[in-house]
């Protein structure tokens, strides 16, 4: 009921904007550079299932999408708040930015995390409390649920790295006892790093969170929010959004393998 109320209120708000500002003809899209397969960057453009979804929908409405790359997640958020970036296709709901950014419902994707350990370490992590007195690692820009964030701050020792792959490498050489990385990426990180058979997923759940299409309030024009919501829902219910997610996994895997080959030459 809560989400329906928020959506209706936003539709009314967007109707007021529509009367005051012109319909958008062109927007700049940039997303999180290291959240594959939902959103990732190659230092020139933003890729991923979320950017593909919103680009398709906007282009069907006659809106040109300029896909760009602005660097790290914090920089992307800062530029979005300024209006230099118009849309971030996959952003967490953060109340502190609501004066500068609004979110389109429903969530474009849901993000959750898994905990992995080395198989030869015989760790058995089933509850959050099992991680107390252990040393963990997680991506620097990760956002957990408020409940887990509070628990981790009070009880856990978690090193933050630039990305999830670094954390798995640290785990493999024994610098940490467990690593946290995005569930949505499945086993691809493990495969890319040739760690099959050496790492093990633990049966502990970290609370998931939703990712939304986020729009700058400094956009200067009006988006067809109602239509975007309808088309997003339609693509999710038909399974098309999941297909894009799966396709994006393999695109990102190919990019990562190519990047690794270049760096080794």
> Considering the chain, what is the average pLDDT of its residues?
85
Tell which CATH classification among 3.40.710.10, 3.40.190.10, 3.40.50.150, 3.40.50.12280 matches the domain 112-208: 3.40.190.10
Which whole number is the average pLDDT over 175-194? 73
Q: What percent of the chain has pLDDT over 90?
A: 55
Domain 2-110+210-264, architecture per CATH:
3-Layer(aba) Sandwich (3.40)
Which whole number is the average pLDDT over 54-81? 96
Question: Which residues have C-beta within 8 Å of that of residue 244, sequence separation ≥ 6?
Answer: 49, 52, 53
**pTM confidence score:** 0.74
Which part of the chain has CATH 3.40.190.10?
2-110+210-264, 112-208
Nearest alpha carbon to residue 204 among 153, 132, 141: 132
Q: Identify the residue whose tokens are 């529509």.
A: 18
What are the tens digits of pLDDT across the range 43-53?
999 999 999 99
CA separation for the pair 224, 124 (Å, rounded) = 49
Q: What percent of the chain has pLDDT over 70?
A: 83
Helices 225-237 + 240-264 axis angle, to 10: 90
Do the beta carbons of residue 4 and residue 44 sit within 8 Å?
no
**pLDDT-based confidence at residue 7 (cuts at 50, 70, 90):** very low
Question: Which residues have C-beta within 8 Å of that of residue 197, sequence separation ≥ 6?
Answer: 119
Which whole number is the average pLDDT over 112-140? 91
Nearest alpha carbon to residue 180 among 167, 166, 198, 199: 167
CA separation for the pair 264, 241 (Å, rounded) = 35
3-state helix, strand, coil in the chain (%, to 5): 45, 25, 30
């Amino acid at each position: 009921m809560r989400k329906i109320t928020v959506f209706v209120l936003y539709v009314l708000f967007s109707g007021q904007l529509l009367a005051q500002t012109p319909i958008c003809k062109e927007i700049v899209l940039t997303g999180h550079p290291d959240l594959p397969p939902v959103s990732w960057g190659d230092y020139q453009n933003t890729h991923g299932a979320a950017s593909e979804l919103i680009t398709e929908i906007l282009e069907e409405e006659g809106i040109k999408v300029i896909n760009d790359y602005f660097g790290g997640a914090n920089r992307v958020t800062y530029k979005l708040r300024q209006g230099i970036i118009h849309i971030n296709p996959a952003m967490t709901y953060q109340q502190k930015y609501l004066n500068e950014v609004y979110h389109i419902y429903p969530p474009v994707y849901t993000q959750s995390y898994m905990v992995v350990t080395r198989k030869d370490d015989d760790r058995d992590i089933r509850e959050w409390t099992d991680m107390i007195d252990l040393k963990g690692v997680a991506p620097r820009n990760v956002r957990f649920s408020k409940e887990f964030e509070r628990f981790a701050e009070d009880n856990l020792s978690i090193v933050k790295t630039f990305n999830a792959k670094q954390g798995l490498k640290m785990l493999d050489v024994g610098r940490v006892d467990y690593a946290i990385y995005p569930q949505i990426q499945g086993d691809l990180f493990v495969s890319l790093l040739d760690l099959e058979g050496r790492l093990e997923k633990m049966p502990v759940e970290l609370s998931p969170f939703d990712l939304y299409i986020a729009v700058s309030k400094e956009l200067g024009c009006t988006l067809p929010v109602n239509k975007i919501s309808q088309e997003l829902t339609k693509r999710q219910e038909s399974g098309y959004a999941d297909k894009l997610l799966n396709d994006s996994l393999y695109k990102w895997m190919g990019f990562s393998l190519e990047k690794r080959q270049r760096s080794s030459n």
